[in-house]
A and B are shown apart, each in its own frame.
Chain A
Amino acid sequence: MLTDEQIVRRVRQGDLDAYGELVERYQRRLVAAAHHLVGDEDAARDVVQETFIQAYRHLEQLRDAAKVGAWLYGILRHRAHSWLAARRPTVSWEDESVDEWFVAADPAERVDMTALLAGLPAADRDALAARYLMDLSYDEVAKALGTSPQNARVRVCRAKERLRNLLDRAEKEVGL
């Protein structure tokens, strides 16, 4: 299997199929992250598609090909935030209520996780998406979020705690 550096080198030499391989490698993580960031599955695909197209056009700006995942996530964040900014009037996270989480008879399945997690602050969503979904190291998270590795470690820790508190609250609400 080709490494990220090899793929990027081929793409830069004009091999578009190699870019397809890069898309395949990262599309799921990016869609998951986009879904978490924008809260809409269909929109997440559009955002990721735009991310890949934009990344291809600006591939010459990628300095460290080994960290292409972090680079792609950085582009994705900007695209996601742009999408949210354009759709802000119609999206309201605060309108979600615990009652809407009841969708199934099984308590464990009653929780709509994506709607629940949308209640996290944006900074925490960024950190969790980078760490859990993109599986980035703290250095890469820091690079993608534009902060220091130490701060990235703190933000990830804090996001995890908020995630725990959110889930704990939801579990108590639905009687898990």
Chain B
Amino acid sequence: MRNVTPCPNWRELLSAYQDNNVSPKDRKRVAAHLQTCGDCRQALAQMDGDRDRFIDAYMAPAAKADLRDTVLAALRADAAIPAEQPQRKFPWDLLFHLGKAGAAVTLILLVAVFMGREPAGNLPATKNPSIFNEETDTTGDTTILLNTDQKLYQNSIADSYSEDGTVDAPDYLSPAKVYAARVNPDYGMNSYLYTVDGDGNLVTPSYGMIDDPGNALTLDQPKNRLYASNGNNPVMAYDALVSVKAKGSKIPSKPAGLKMAYDIDYRLQVKNALQKSRQAQGIITGLGGFTMNYQYVNNEHEPAVAAFNGKIPAEKAEAALAEIEKLGNVRGLTIAGEDLTGQFQSQREEIARQTEHAKKLDAIGSRSASKVAAGVEDQRHAAKGQVNAAKNALTGLTTRHELVTISAAFYEATPREPLTLARATAGTRHALNYALLLLVTIAVFFLVVGLVAAPFVGLRYWRRRRMAS
């Protein structure tokens, strides 16, 4: 039979028509086409013939197939024997692969950490700041910074002293009233010697060290004179009464008949220096005082410092000290007193003397005009100027006497971060470090899991290979 090819546009449709898989509309179209196209009619007939031959070729042998009993017997046997439940296998392979991934990530992270670690010794020093050291201010007054852990102990210093101010003989002061204070060496300070009065108040600073027996200070309490000696030779003498007190001590009572002025200097350790300084200034002004100046130093890698100077009525000084001491950890308190009695007296005498002098010059000036030409008038004005100057000085002394000078410095123990940006960078670095630590932890976990799984995976591969062989 000649192999007939259907019309190219009708191939698929003719095939579907033969399979009875066309829409009614297409069925009508194909039927109409078949009436007019002989080739397509023959092609369809060939397709029918091919289909029949194809089906016969396979269906004839299959007709004798009878699998029912075989299948059912197999299924019954399968049901009689409890079906082997598919065992949930532990995913050793998965763990092994996770372990490999964990090992790779761990290696990468360790390399990253090693490459990105900060060089050693680059961190800012965090040692105790040097606020405990002894300092000398620009006025020459000695500032003693007492540690609150200072130890007071009786020291039988009885150095050379004589009533006229020369140091020539020991045993002038009663040993019971002279003490030495040694600063706790744990704070890295030198063991300076201080003399303390019988009430426990440190009254003198010493530039000599305890280990140096040649240096010692002695105090003439009745005269408020202080002597330092180096062996048998006087080194220095102070005319002012210098009183240094520890935390909680009181302003020394003024000796009877003396016009005393006190300067109080605080050193406090706080967490926020600027904030505490402002609070202290509020305390001063709240008690009727005033602030003269203040400053705030905040250098990189150094503890921030805020300090101020002010005045406060003498009767309010004790209350101010009590309030300020609450603001932080008192590391030092210096109360320096000065006897103004003599200065008051000298200024009054100066006023009287210059006033009397001016009166005499007035009398001269009124009698003779020629005297005026001789400069008497100028001398009279000068004398009146001296009177006014002495009066101003007296006013100043009165102010010093009635107003206590109070200054306070607030220190932060921890050095400040250099810049806000650097602080933010440090915060980010910390966050990244924590994230890195978390990643390393996870990676190491998978690494361990992989190591555990590796023998099982290897065993399985070995079994498979043995079975395959």
A and B bind: yes
List residues of chain A with CB under 8 Å of any chain B CB: 16-17, 19-20, 23-24, 27-29, 31-33, 35-36, 41, 44-45, 48-49, 52-53, 56, 113-114, 117, 128, 131-133, 137-138, 153-154, 156-157, 160-161, 163-165, 167-168, 171, 176
In the complex, which residues of chain B have a beta carbon less than 8 angstroms from the beta carbon of A36? 58
CA distance A154 to B21 in the complex (A): 12
In the complex, which residues of chain A have a beta carbon less than 8 angstroms from the beta carbon of B54? 113, 117, 128, 132-133, 163
- Distance in angstroms from A108 CB to nearest chain B CB is 10
Q: Which 4 A-B pairs have the closest CB atoms?
A: A113-B57, A32-B58, A157-B15, A31-B62
CA distance A136 to B12 in the complex (A): 17
B72 touches A164 (CB 8 A): no
CA distance A86 to B50 in the complex (A): 31
Chain A interface mostly = helix
Report if B319 contacts A (CB, 8 A).
Answer: no
Interface residues of B in 144-167 (CB under 8 A from A): none
In the complex, which residues of chain B have a beta carbon less than 8 angstroms from the beta carbon of A128? 54
B58 touches A133 (CB 8 A): yes
In the complex, which residues of chain B have a beta carbon less than 8 angstroms from the beta carbon of A17? 72
Q: A16-B79, A49-B67, A176-B1 are in contact. List 13 more A-B contacts (CB 8 A).
A: A20-B68, A23-B67, A23-B68, A35-B61, A49-B70, A52-B71, A53-B75, A113-B56, A131-B19, A132-B54, A133-B55, A153-B12, A164-B46
- Distance in angstroms from A69 CB to nearest chain B CB is 15
* In the complex, residue of chain B having the shortest beta-carbon distance to the beta carbon of A138: B21
In the complex, which residues of chain A have a beta carbon less than 8 angstroms from the beta carbon of B61? 31-32, 35, 41
Most chain A CB within a 10 A radius of its CB, from B56, B59, B63, B79: B59
- Distance in angstroms from B445 CB to nearest chain A CB is 38
Known pairs A138-B21, A168-B3; A157 contacts B16 (CB<8 A): yes
CA distance A127 to B21 in the complex (A): 15
Q: Pick from B21, B46, B50, B65: contact of A27, CB below 8 A.
A: B65
A49 touches B74 (CB 8 A): yes
Report if B53 contacts A (CB, 8 A).
Answer: yes
- Distance in angstroms from B309 CB to nearest chain A CB is 92
A165 touches B3 (CB 8 A): yes
CA distance A114 to B62 in the complex (A): 12
Q: Pick from A23, A138, A160, A176: contact of B71, CB below 8 A.
A: A23
Most chain B CB within a 10 A radius of its CB, from A31, A163, A176: A31
Q: 9 A-B contacts, Cβ less than 8 Å apart?
A: A17-B72, A28-B63, A32-B58, A32-B61, A128-B54, A132-B51, A153-B16, A157-B15, A176-B1
In the complex, which residues of chain A have a beta carbon less than 8 angstroms from the beta carbon of B211? none
- Distance in angstroms from A27 CB to nearest chain B CB is 5
Report if B199 contacts A (CB, 8 A).
Answer: no
CA distance A24 to B65 in the complex (A): 9
